[in-house]
């Protein structure tokens, strides 16, 4: 199984019984750390004859593009208004302001977001989401440094070289020397499982979807905000 850290993931099923689970990687460990392992373990226990493969969809335009092209059968994605895909909501993952622990826990203000700001590289969907949020808040960071590894970003923040904005799932467990606080106005990323409508109910894809949803409902599962209903799916994590 390939190592994956980004938030979008895609699943592919072949009639031979092989399922390539393609994953569009995001710079943070995120969903691959918290959402996929328990689901994959349960799925493997129930379907030991099925092979699950993780693919990197970042260079393909995202996991959703792998699904559209038939190279993957499902993808954990940051939900958008895609009318051609069936979306099953998973979680609403909140973005948090990340700073050195010595800053303390006073409420975050727009001035705190002036930077220097350390973010994932520009084409990344989370980078675009954060930069759009800053524009809406009227914040123009004095300097933005794009870094491709979450561990490097967190290490630099801990040493006082800047601040960051990251999804909660990417920060758990929070490393020593850091504080993670709510933004002045909440910013969320809605995570959903995307499939082609005519393939969503294939037995193996349905089995993986059920394993993922069951893992999210287990007591030890991460508990960001429940996802609101999206086209093709229902609200989860009650």
Highest mean pLDDT among 32-46, 94-108, 122-136: 94-108
When pLDDT is averaged across residues 221-230 and rounded to a whole number, the result is 44
Q: What is the pTM of this model?
A: 0.75
Supply the pLDDT for residue 162.
95
Residue 79: pLDDT over 80: yes
Q: 232: left (phi > 0), else alpha (psi -120 to 50), else beta? A: left
Which fold does the domain 9-91+190-226 belong to in CATH? Answer: D-Maltodextrin-Binding Protein; domain 2 (3.40.190)
Question: What residue spans define the domains of the chain?
Answer: 9-91+190-226, 94-188
Task: Tell me the CATH number of domain 94-188, given options 3.90.1150.10, 3.40.640.10, 2.60.40.2380, 3.40.190.10.
Answer: 3.40.190.10
Q: How confident is the model at residue 83 (pLDDT cuts 50, 70, 90)?
A: confident
Q: How confident is the model at residue 14 (pLDDT cuts 50, 70, 90)?
A: very low
Supply the pLDDT for residue 16.
38
Asked if the domains 9-91+190-226 and 94-188 are classified in one and the same CATH topology, the answer is yes
Q: What is the pLDDT of residues 109-138, one digit of tens each?
A: 999 999 899 998 877 778 889 999 999 999
CA distance 111 to 157: 17
As to burial, measured by CB atoms within 10 angstroms (0-12 exposed, 13-18 middle, 19+ buried), residue 45 is: exposed
Supply the pLDDT for residue 59.
55
When pLDDT is averaged across residues 206-213 and rounded to a whole number, the result is 90
Supply the mean pLDDT for the chain.
Answer: 78
């Amino acid at each position: 199984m390939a190592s994956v850290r980004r938030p979008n993931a895609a699943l592919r099923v072949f009639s031979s019984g092989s399922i390539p689970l393609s994953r569009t990687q995001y710079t943070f460990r995120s969903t691959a750390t918290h959402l996929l392992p328990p689901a994959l373990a349960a799925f493997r226990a129930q379907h030991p004859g099925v092979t699950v493969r993780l693919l990197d969809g970042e260079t393909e335009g995202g996991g959703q593009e792998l699904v559209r092209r038939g190279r993957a059968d499902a993808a954990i994605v940051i939900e958008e208004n895609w009318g051609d895909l069936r979306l099953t909501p998973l979680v609403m993952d909140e973005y948090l302001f990340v700073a050195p622990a010595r800053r303390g826990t006073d409420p975050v203000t727009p001035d705190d977001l002036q930077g220097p700001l350390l973010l994932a590289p520009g084409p990344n969907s989370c980078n675009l989401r954060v930069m759009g949020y800053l524009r809406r808040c009227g914040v123009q960071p004095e300097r933005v440094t794009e870094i491709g590894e979450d561990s490097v970003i967190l290490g630099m923040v801990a040493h006082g070289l800047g601040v960051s904005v990251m999804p909660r799932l990417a920060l758990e467990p929070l490393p020593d020397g850091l504080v993670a606080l709510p933004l002045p106005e909440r910013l969320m990323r809605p995570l959903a499982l995307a499939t082609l409508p005519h393939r969503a109910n294939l037995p193996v894809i349905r089995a993986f979807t059920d394993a993922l949803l069951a893992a999210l409902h287990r007591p030890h599962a991460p508990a960001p905000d429940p996802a609101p209903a999206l086209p093709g799916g229902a609200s989860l994590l009650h």
